[in-house]
Amino acid sequence: MRRAVLTLVVAVLTGLGALLPGVATSYAVSSGAPSGAGAGSGGRGVAHVPVPKAGRAVDTSHPDHVVGSGTSASCTSRKVVRAVALGGVITFDCGPDPVVIGMRRTAKVVNTSRRVVIDGGGLVTLSGGGHRRILYQDTCDQRQVWTTDHCDDQAHPRLVVQHLTLLAGNSSGQTFEGGGGGAIFDRGGQLKVVDTRFVDNRCDRTGPDLGGAAVRALSQYAGRPVWVVGSTFRGGVCSNGSALSSIGVSWQVLNSRFVHNRAVGHGANPASPGTPGGGSGGAIYTDGNTYRLTVAGTLIRANHAREGGGAIFYVSNDRTGTLHIHRSTLEDNVSERFETRPGIFYLGRGPIDVRHSIIR
């Protein structure tokens, strides 16, 4: 985020928000038309929205690899790490009951894979034990093999995580590529998350642009969005974006829940003199130029930012990006120092597109 943004933040904090293009000083809720006109809440708030084919779960009825042989003891970290490295469609056979697999190493995608689909069948939890990142993909990491001369914009691997729980991942101290991504770090290729629970994940507690206790995404192929569908994010703690975080990446966040996530950095971005920076986007932190964040059918409640945007921090540096909030409820999200709507800090192209939603 460029230093001009800091000037805008100061203006908001000193009551000059009405003078800034795209910064709302009224907190009215949309009546169904764009730009936040209207009042009241009849027929508004969280309502399920249709999911396009691109955002739906993948068929895993014919897996390439099955982790386990029918018992919980047969499902191990070593087998998960190996299956992810081999790529393809991965399922689990750990018995009929829920199972927690403690990850002794981070599972890393090898970039020669065209796709990696991890399907927990609704019974599997992968735990970082509070000590390590759970899942990693980076098309620009030579250790995971370079496959093109344009690693920051390549179609593969396509990483899909579905019907799974990711618990207690922690990327603190992992500063390669800027850090973040306590549960999932993804640079390059394409990422989709469906029907997945993220619980109590962590990343570094300070840093002006570092984030994503649950998911950190960078450099998605051809500007395609990261899909987050039917998923839950709870108890994340990071400098910024304690559920989702990205730079220059678009998102489609549909039918999901974000509750009790905390951005605990201090000094915002750029970092104020004498501070380490961070503290914005209690649930979602996005930065960049031309990118789109869509939040639809989603509840964002009781998240907290030490600086700005208790629910959502959205900055398009050149004011070409857009934020869309449809059929959603954002409530009781605390921004300790600055916001442009309750729980939101927004700088983008025109006003926020808010439809059939509650923001309070």
Tell me the per-residue pLDDT of 177-228, one tens digit each, with 9 for 90 and over.
999 999 999 999 999 999 999 999 999 999 999 999 999 999 999 999 999 9
Give the burial class of 57: count Cβ atoms within 10 A of its Cβ; 0-12 exposed, 13-18 middle, 19 or more buried.
middle
Burial 99-119 (b: 16+ CB within 10 A, else e): bebebeebbbbbbebebbbbb
Mean pLDDT of 52-69: 98
What pLDDT is stored for residue 43 in this prediction? Answer: 74
Mean pLDDT of 291-298: 98
28, two tokens: 């009215």
Q: Domain tally for the chain?
A: 1
Whole-number Å distance between alpha carbons of 70 and 77: 16
Percent of the chain with pLDDT over 70: 88
pLDDT over 90 at 239, yes or no: yes
Tell me the pLDDT band of 57, cut-offs 50, 70 and 90: very high
- The 8-class DSSP code of residue 49 comes to -
pLDDT over 90 at 22, yes or no: no
Tell me the pLDDT band of 42, cut-offs 50, 70 and 90: low
Torsion of CA 271, 224, 58, 123, to 10 degrees: 10
Which whole-number Å values give the CA distances from 246 to 12, 44, 358, in the listed order?
24, 28, 25
What pLDDT is stored for residue 21 in this prediction? Answer: 30
pLDDT over 70 at 81, yes or no: yes
pLDDT over 80 at 9, yes or no: no
Mean pLDDT of 63-82: 98
The average confidence (pLDDT) of the chain is: 90
Range of the domain at 160: 3-359
Mean pLDDT of 252-279: 97
Mean pLDDT of 6-15: 38
Per residue in 327-345, pLDDT (tens digit) is 999 999 999 999 999 999 9
pLDDT over 80 at 254, yes or no: yes
Percent of the chain with pLDDT over 90: 88
φ, ψ dihedrals at 11, nearest 5°: -60, -40
Q: What is the pTM of this model?
A: 0.90
